[in-house]
Amino acid sequence: MSEKKLKYVGTRPIRHDGVDKVLGKANFGADLNLPGMLHGKILRSPHAHAKIISINTAKAEALDGVLAVITGDDFPPPPSGKGSVEGPQDFGDMARNVMAREKALYTGHAIAAVAATTTRIAEIALKAIEVEYEVLEPVMTLERALAPDAPILHEEMRAKGEEPLPEGPTNVATRTVMGFGDVDEGFSSADVVVEREFTTETVHQGYIEPHAVVARSISDGRAEVYCCTQGQFMVRKYCSKVLDMDPTQIKVTASEIGGGFGGKTVVYAEPVSIVLARKSGRPVKIVMSREEVFIATGPTSGSHIRVKIGVKNDGTITAADATLNYEAGAFKGSPVMAGMMTIFSPYRMDHVRIEGFDVVVNKPKVAAYRAPGAPMAAFATEGVMDELASQLGMDPVDLRLVNAVKEGDTAAYGPKFKVHGFIDTLQAVKNHPHYKAPLGPNQGRGIACGFWFNAGMQSSANVILNEDGNATVVTGNPDIGGSRTSMALMAAEELGIPVDKIRPVVADTESVGYSDLTGGSRVTFATGMAVVEAAKDVVRQLRERAAQTWDVSVDDVEWRDGHAVAMNGHADDHEPLSVAALAGSAAKTGGPISGRASLNARGPGPGFATHICDVEVDKETGRVSVLRYTAVQDVGRAIHPSYVEGQMQGGAVQGIGWALNEAYMYDEKGKLQNPSFLDYRMPVASDMPMIDTVIVEVPNPTHPYGVRGVGETPIVPPLPAVAHAVNQATGVRFRSLPISPPRVLAALDD
Amino acid sequence: MAIVVLPPALRAAVEGSERVQVKAENIRELMSTLRERFPLLEETLDAGPAVSIDGEIIADPFLEKLEPDSEVHFLPQIGGG
Amino acid sequence: MPLENEGEDWRMLDAQYISPRSVAEAVEALKGGGKDAMVLAGGTDLLVQARTGLRDPRLYVDLKRIPDLMALDISSKGLHLGASVPAAQIFENEDMKALYPGLTEAVDLIGSTQIQGRATVGGNLCNGSPAADTVPSLLVLEAICVIAGSEGERRVPASEFTTGPGETVLRPGEFLVRIEIPAPSKGAADAYLRFIPRTEMDIAVVGAAVSLTLDSSGCCEAASVALGAVAPTAILVEGAASALIGSTLDEAALERAGSAAYEAAQPIDDKRGTAEYRRRVASVLTQRSARMAAERARGRN
């Protein structure tokens, strides 16, 4: 940890990309047009579950203006065997999700695609493609998926981890059990035990910018892709897997991005546009409509969770037990593991058992969504904790304080926690005026806590000193939450160059070293670490140049606030040399100066938050209005406090939407009824009060400036916080989301 | 000796124990020792699990140093948003 | 980056556009365009429908350059509201707020600030949506729709204008010129409330408009109640009106009006609400709307 007073880190400069974005000059995914470019459109399955018997593209190909029509046959076989699975990604499944092969597994699944000179011709061509389906019964709920007579999505699927392993196929991809101690013993020593079931619906990230891509195929087999994504290197890798290409053959440039929240961490139209470009010989642009975004990109799981917690009369938890069922969508890979690993992690316990099921259903394959899997898990655990507090007659914050994990405590998923500020957030809530403010009639207040791991992973950075003494900071991470300016702030601090004289650049895959995607709350932490190392590399070179200039040892040169300063008895002989002077004379002292760093960042540090929510319930219509909301979070250290607050506010609002009105609504045939922002009811600005934030700073010792991840944790507490506030206002405990007006009114009747 | 803590599903592979002591200076050594002693762990180790070493989660471990009393957990790989 | 755009992205660019300067010119243009021609007023419904492929006009006849359709006149005879007058111009008009506060609030509920610069009451009516926010208010204010076509002008009460979801009395080649609303009598006022789960950018789950006239003693002489989004078209609820007439708008009378609204509503279960929920909210909004109209009417006596 740097102990010196910081000049730039912790200030709030205007973001470097801000003016262009405000003026509409920034280029997003759909903004690129190339000479000769065609427009691609994707034919999507009208059925939620069907065998594809045949596809006839002849009539579409015969249309004037149609230059390419493709189906699954135009792609290499889906990857299988060694190298086809990497972490949570199965590239065979990904290939089938990008373009269906044997079966259509959700309404909206890509079946074929065309490239034509206009979008109108492309749409006419889609209608001319003849597809014969054998329609199968769709599996739209966990209950149906798990029924003994359920239709099977994947004939080869065998509930991995189930004991005994079933002989026939199932819709359960994996069963996992974790825990320690003896829960029966733990519950037997409890004074109060509460066991409840909770459900949440499929919800979408709701990013404003639909997916958009332009691809160009180059004669030697290379491809260039321009798209909106959370990771240009991710797009390169995933396209290479799905299309059986070398990553080096694909260049990916990330556009500006209008939101991702985890939803842009996989590929959809990108490989399709490459294949269309290759077949047509022309650049091809695909821009999804809002409806396509809803029906064909990854939302997050609907869930069913059972939680049982036992406590002593003083509030101490004696045991906890949970079963989690998460919908994965059409292919395995729900975030149930993360749900299991977070569900009890805020609390100390000696006896714990957690069982989880990853279940496939005929909905789009889920993608990451901000702390994937954790919000629904917190909804369940916090709901039981809130009920326990009321049964014990304890303040809900006090019940958490009795059980909150501290440094060195064992997390329910196994390992011991390192230093973090969970208890500090709880104390901040207790001391906050909001927590004690009076409430009016029909109003209620709830609190809830949340935990997320945060990620480190691989990042690269180049810091280039320019001849004017200013610097360019090059990284490989798309800037979603203001990370350019956070990178610039850390570089400014190291170099002593004003932050507005630093130009932060998001580079394409050929202009900077490999960087994992922007996600997992990792960029300010991990990429920031790479920027700091690269800047230190520059400073080391600057000191060497000054030492040469003065003919002293490099140990006699210190770097202070943008100047090389002679030390150890040489101070009187040499005026300090500014970074501009050293940059200007670089040609004479050895040539251009630049620094680089590539690393795999360790020790991101856990994130904890506690939120307070006030609501008012209209008991005649069931409408819930959020009146006041305060988000308290340990962020390690806020590099740019405005963007930290923005993350906390944005996460809170997304969680409130999930709690109150957002839900995928399917009909009995598996067609989505509300694929638009009109009927998929995300909150609008006027629905929300200003979200108050309290930044708690317990520095993360592994980061040079104490950063820990910020972006994901704030979506974890709102689901339960809203439910608890509604409970206090109405006396009704809502354990199923969304807490929509019709449900509230019906519950008040009971 | 580093202590490896196993989740319920993997305990059968190590004769039912929750904890196994392994003499290893780093994760590479620990992994190869585990492979030799418990062939049933091979599938898990081949899948490339994440580990935590004394509470720090590492997605792609290899040469991380182990202290004599380090506690190592195998964890599933999880994705962020 | 080169911005040469060989393949245009807007299907509408393939279509023709014409901007007549008189009702007669517009009638001619529509006649010439046949069934592929559509009138374009605010375009806030039509352009969205065209973009999603729901409609595919080949000729757009813009009604925003015809003076008659762009006029908002308030006189002792009442209101003449041109079919193409933008929403913002209506709800920013002080006379509108004073004379027809319920209708004015309904207009203010249409769309976002940007949309309100284009959206029109005429379009809201002609789109034929059962949930259109201004239609219940037009019903309770006894609005008359003036329609132009190749066979001349005809007048249709607003209560008969919409015939089903997306359907109106307009024949091919006809379009709405203006809406006429009588001047409010002494002691009269109106109100409109809608229920949406959010605060804006949403479509009414239920809408309720009430217009009533109070005598100097505060007794209700005349009343009209209309509901939106609970039937294939907006409906007048006579039972609710008669529950109010002759009362002092006491709680019992309001409850009777609410019950009548509950009974009259024939909603469906859909993504925006269950039938039972809509009936309940129709009752609640009828009572709230009546209370609000009564408050205003008392201030005018």
pTM: 0.95
Cβ contact (<8 Å) for A415 and B81?
Answer: no
- Classify residue B46: in a domain, yes or no: yes
A741 contacts A622 by C-beta, under 8 angstroms: yes
In a domain, B81, yes or no: no
Residue B44, domain CATH: 3.10.20.30
Quick one: A368 and A409 in the same domain? Answer: yes
- In this structure, the answer to whether residues C267 and C235 fall within a common structural domain is yes
Tell whether C192 is covered by a domain: no
Q: Which of residues 257-296 of A touch B (CB under 8 A)?
A: 261-262, 265
Task: Render pLDDT for A104-129 as a digit per residue (tens, 0 to 9).
Answer: 999 999 999 999 999 989 999 999 99
- Helix pair A374-392, A718-730: axis angle to 10 deg: 40
Those residues whose C-beta lies under 8 Å from the C-beta of residue A642, and which sit 6 or more positions away, are A12, A482
- Average pLDDT in the B66-73 region? 93
* Rounded Cα gap, residues A112 and A55, in angstroms: 8
pLDDT at C8: 45
Query: How would DSSP label each residue in A311-369?
Result: E-TTS-EEEEEEEEEEEEESSS--THHHHHHHHTTTB--S-EEEEEEEEE-SSPPP---
- C85 contacts: CB under 8 Å, gap ≥ 6: C69, C70, C71, C72, C120, C121, C122
* A623, A658, A744, best to mutate vs chain C, most C CBs in 10 Å: A623
pLDDT at position A228: 98
Radius of gyration of chain B (CA): 12
Identify whether A296 is part of a domain: no
Please spell the DSSP secondary structure of C228-248, one letter per residue.
ESSSSS-EE-HHHHHHHTTS-
In angstroms, the CA A496 to CA A535 distance is 10
Buried b (16+ CB within 10 A) or exposed e, A55-74: bebeebeeeebbbbbbbbeb
Tokens of A308: 């049982």
- Residue C6 to residue A36, Cβ atoms within 8 A: yes
Check whether residue C236 and residue C275 sit in a common domain: yes
The domain in which residue C213 lies consists of 202-298
C146 and C112 in a common domain: yes
Note whether A116 and A129 are within 8 A (CB): no
Comparing alpha-carbon positions, the chain A residue that sits nearest to C12 is A120
The token pair that represents A410 in the structure block: 């064992």
**Rounded Cα–Cα distance for residues A511 and A654 (Å):** 35
Q: Cα-flanking dihedrals φ and ψ of residue C149, to 5°?
A: -165, 180
Using CA atoms, how far residue A75 sits from A109, A233, C281, in Å, is 16, 21, 53
Name the minimum distance, in Å, from the CA of A414 to any CA of chain B: 7
How many whole angstroms separate alpha carbon A418 and alpha carbon A399?
22
C224: closest CA of chain A, how far (Å)? 23
Query: Which residue numbers of B have CB closer than 8 Å to A's CBs?
Result: 5, 7-9, 18, 47-48, 52, 54-60, 71, 73, 75-81
Average pLDDT for residues B29-54, to the nearest whole number?
Answer: 90
DSSP string, A49-100: SEEEEEEE-HHHHTSTTEEEEEEGGGSPPPP-STTSEETTEEHHHHHHHHS-
Please determine, for residue A400, whether its predicted confidence score (pLDDT) is greater than 90.
yes
Of A120, A684, A742, the CB nearest to C277: A742
Give the domain range for residue A44.
29-136+211-287
CATH of the domain at C109: 3.30.465.10
* Least confident among A3-12, A25-34, A441-450, C83-92: A3-12
A369–B contact, CB cutoff 8 A: yes
Q: Judge if C71 and C154 occupy the same domain.
A: yes
Mean pLDDT of A713-738: 98
Do the Cβ atoms of C7 and A623 come within 8 Å?
Answer: no
What confidence tens digit (pLDDT) does each residue in A237-272 have?
Answer: 999 999 999 999 999 999 999 999 999 999 999 999
**C-alpha A526: how far from chain center:** 15
Contact present, A506 and A226 (Cβ < 8 Å): no
Of the pLDDT bands very low, low, confident and very high (cuts 50, 70, 90), residue B6 is confident
pLDDT of residue C300: 82
**pLDDT surpasses 90 at B44:** no
Domain boundary residue among A567, A583, A599? A599
Mean pLDDT of A411-422: 95
In this prediction, residues A599-621 reach a mean pLDDT of: 96
Q: A12: how many CB neighbours lie within 10 A of its CB?
A: 13
The reported pLDDT for the residue numbered C13 is 56
| Three-state DSSP string of B34-67 | HHHHCHHHHHHHHCCCEEEECCEEECCCCCCECC
Does A593 share its domain with A465? yes
* Number of structural domains chain C divides into: 3
Count of domains for chain B: 1
Q: Which chains touch C (3 or more CB pairs under 8 A)?
A: A
**Which of A552, A568, A599 finishes a domain?**
A599
Can you give the pLDDT at residue A565?
98
Check whether residue A345 and residue A485 sit in a common domain: no
Does residue C22 sit in the same domain as residue C55? yes
Structural domains in chain A (count): 3
Same-domain check for residues C208 and C177:
no
Size of interface A-C (CB pairs under 8 A): 85
- Residue A3: the pLDDT is 58
> Could you read off the pLDDT of C255-289 as tens digits, one per residue?
999 999 999 999 999 888 899 999 999 999 999 99
Do A590 and A502 share a structural domain? Answer: yes
Mean pLDDT computed over A443-463: 97
Residue B50 lies in a domain: yes
Interface partners of chain B (CB pairs < 8 Å, 3 or more) are A
Q: Which residues of C touch A119 (CB under 8 A)?
A: 7-11
Domain identity same for A130 and A266:
yes
Residue C159 and residue C71 in one domain:
yes
Give the mean pLDDT of A36-42. Answer: 98
Does A455 contact B at CB distance below 8 Å?
A: yes
Residue of C nearest to A666 (CA): C271
Confidence label for A70 from pLDDT (cuts 50, 70 and 90): very high
Identify any residues that bridge with A252 across adjacent strands, giving them in sequence order: A225
Q: Do A282 and A394 share a structural domain?
A: no
CATH number of the domain residue A403 falls in = 3.30.365.10
Domain that holds residue B40: 2-75
| C195, C198, C277 ranked by CB distance to A681: nearest | C198
Rg (C-alpha) for chain C, rounded Å, is: 20
Residue C191 lies in a domain: no
Quick check: B52 and A414 CB within 8 A? yes
Q: 10-residue block means of pLDDT along chain C (301 residues)? A: 39 78 97 94 92 88 97 97 98 97 96 94 97 98 98 97 97 97 96 96 95 96 98 98 97 98 95 93 98 94 71
A587 and A610 housed in the same domain: no
Cα–Cα distance for residue pair A525/A639, rounded to 1 Å: 10
Interface size A-B, in CB pairs within 8 Å, comes to 94
Sheet containing B50-53, strands listed edge to edge, beginning at the edge strand earlier in sequence: B19-22, B2-5, B71-75, B50-53, B56-58
Q: A725 to chain C nearest CA, in Å?
A: 18
Q: Is there a domain that residue A464 lies in?
A: yes
Tell me what pLDDT residue B7 has: 83
Whether the pLDDT of residue A164 is over 90: the answer is: no
The verdict on C293 and C259 lying in the same domain is yes
Residues A85 and A226 in one domain: yes
Q: Which residues in chain B are contacts of A514 at CB distance < 8 A?
A: none
Do A631 and A698 lie in one domain? The reply is yes
The CA distance from C301 to the nearest CA of chain A, in Å, is: 31
**Is A173 strand, coil or helix?**
strand
Last residue of a domain, one of A578, A599, A620: A599
Number of H helices, E strands in chain C: 12, 14
- How would residue B10 be classed by pLDDT, with cut points 50, 70 and 90? confident
pLDDT in tens, A204-226: 999 999 999 999 998 888 999 99
Does a structural domain hold residue C226? yes
**pLDDT reported for residue C2:** 33
pLDDT band, very low/low/confident/very high, at A623 (cuts 50, 70, 90):
very high
- Taking alpha carbons only, the member of B50, B53, B55 closest to residue B25 is B53
8-state DSSP, C260: H
**C149 in the same domain as C209:** no
Nearest to A198 by CA among A45, A354, A376: A376
